Structure 1
């Protein structure tokens, strides 16, 4: 079992397979994009599989595939087929913008990879185009409805941004009322590759909830595991649910059970830390997995207690597309 220096069991790996993305969301990266990794810098699919197997051997039973946008990288589906065969891995999930997932829905269902988080910050096409600087809204909505119809566990992640998509909060809750889907409202974080941080966050989890309560009175609080990052609710008679993730306020840090690995093999023990451990070199330097596992375990023994401690130790912030979400 992988345990950090604060006694927290780590059973959840967020594995980025690429830092590239076909959208340019305003909270994620500058309009001109960022310096994406060269193909030769990325972990190969074989290296990723060896890495995933090592984490599973150490007690990780859930892997979320992230990016960038995972489906822009060729070879993803064969990798997922192989990953799905790993003994001890109980769940594979994916975070995507859903622009390219359509043709893969049948195979994903066959592999039982049906837990899909879709990054979508507006239900209004014009606002979506403004936020993402691209025009994929119709494709995304078609794919969301297809996955709902196919019985996928679909969550929509909406980053709440002042003066950009506040008018979408209530429509998203209505959407969750009418469809078997979960909507999660995330506090905005200053990780766009340029920001030095917010002076203050107007739309924190408290403000978001007060806005919701001003429209809806009967809200049912839903149970959630200790490691959940969201506080979840359901409207009376709703098919789906909604929740709030205090990603900037960091109310959930004390129970964090996850670790992140970038597409370049950089392990990040905390989302809010710029410090990384180079696992790619460990993959190349050892003929078996023991050295890699030792490096992972050692890194977990210097893990920050929470995001605030991690941020104090970090001088820079990466674009979210480079972190892997």
Structure 2
């Protein structure tokens, strides 16, 4: 049972960690990394499963209740099911969710459900096979759709994450929203961010959350606003008669920072108290230098006691004023 709850210096309750287990990925998505890929870190530089489990035990004792496993692509790392089984057994962790590109996930869905995975976020940016190839630079559409069908077959709560990219997948917005007509899924449209290993693709973001909503409303004028859950990053909507829902995430506009309840740990063990900061301290190094549990807890509290108010402040405070240009794969999508 948690002894104390975590709060930042703005009074925000922190109960959610996004844990990136690898920076490796078998796709090369336009919005995530350059076509030639990125320089991956060595195996020794990654947090080991034992180190990650130690951290999750500590954070659970500090009030963390929800963990999202991200990458890279989590399932390119060996023995991931073993790790997930141990993670789901930690006292105090109420929800373990996974974000995956779906290329390696189809056959794992029954086991994911049996070990207690709460939900899956499936990255899918196009329903047109050619546009999917252009965005991901890989011929993996059929594998991803097979995973989608497996998730539905096994009644796994599923969200579809689609990054909206000008000139890349605008034609897919309405067809993707139509997935919710017959399938009980949440399709979330996400503003593109500059975490692609190169920097922002556009001088201004034409397809922000307002433009995405306007586009949806043109096809679904009766679309109704749903109440947003606590800490929600998405504005959620229901199309009358549809089984699922539609969400819009203002990931670049950063309109949800005021209720942010999450921290991130990168594959190399860097703590990020905001997606847009460049890292607060390296947990891996402190652990390997022999830090006690009490020292690690104290370091987390100190970091959260100096947290940026929002993503704009975090970006302004980056070292040497350098702009955002790292790959999302190195952070944890």
Question: Normalising by structure 1, what TM-score?
Answer: 0.98
Instruction: Name the counterpart of 1:148.
Output: 152
Which structure 1 segments of 5+ residues have no match? none
Say whether residues 1:110 and 2:118 are aligned partners.
no
Instruction: Name the counterpart of 2:47.
Output: 43
Say whether residues 1:277 and 2:281 are aligned partners.
yes
In 1: Cα distance, 2:253 partner to 2:184 partner: 28
Shift in alpha-carbon separation, 1:196–1:211, aligned structure 2, 3 A = closer
Kept in 2: contact 1:115–1:154 (CA 8 A) = yes
Which structure 2 segments of 5+ residues have no match? none
Kept in 2: contact 1:123–1:171 (CA 8 A) = yes
In 2: Cα distance, 1:109 partner to 1:26 partner: 31
User: Which 4+ stretches in 1 moved above 3 angstroms?
Assistant: none
Say whether residues 1:267 and 2:271 are aligned partners.
yes
- Report the RMSD for the aligned CA atoms in angstroms: 1.1
Offset at 1:197? Answer: 6.6
In 2: Cα distance, 1:3 partner to 1:320 partner: 26
Kept in 2: contact 1:19–1:263 (CA 8 A) = yes
Instruction: Name the counterpart of 1:3.
Output: 7
Offset at 1:2? Answer: 0.9
Give the SS at the match of 1:302. Answer: coil
Give the SS at the match of 2:8. Answer: coil
Instruction: Name the counterpart of 1:319.
Output: 327
Alignment of 1:195-234 (within 5 A): 195=199, 198-234=202-238
Offset at 1:286? Answer: 3.3
Question: Normalising by structure 2, what TM-score?
Answer: 0.95
In 2: Cα distance, 1:24 partner to 1:247 partner: 20
Deviations 1:204-230 (A, max 9, x none): 001111111111111121112231000
Give the SS at the match of 2:305. Answer: helix
Give the SS at the match of 1:64. Answer: strand
Deviations 1:46-78 (A, max 9, x none): 001001111111000000000000000002110
Offset at 1:313? Answer: 1.3
Alignment of 1:123-162 (within 5 A): 123-162=127-166
Offset at 1:31? Answer: 0.5
Instruction: Name the counterpart of 1:68.
Output: 72
In 2: Cα distance, 1:196 partner to 1:274 partner: 16
Shift in alpha-carbon separation, 1:43–1:6, aligned structure 2, 3 A = same
In 2: Cα distance, 1:311 partner to 1:33 partner: 24
Shift in alpha-carbon separation, 1:170–1:196, aligned structure 2, 3 A = closer
Offset at 1:285? Answer: 2.8
Greater CA drift, 100-109 or 41-50: 100-109
Deviations 1:154-176 (A, max 9, x none): 10000000011000000011111
Pick the aligned partner of 1:296 from 290, 293, 300.
300
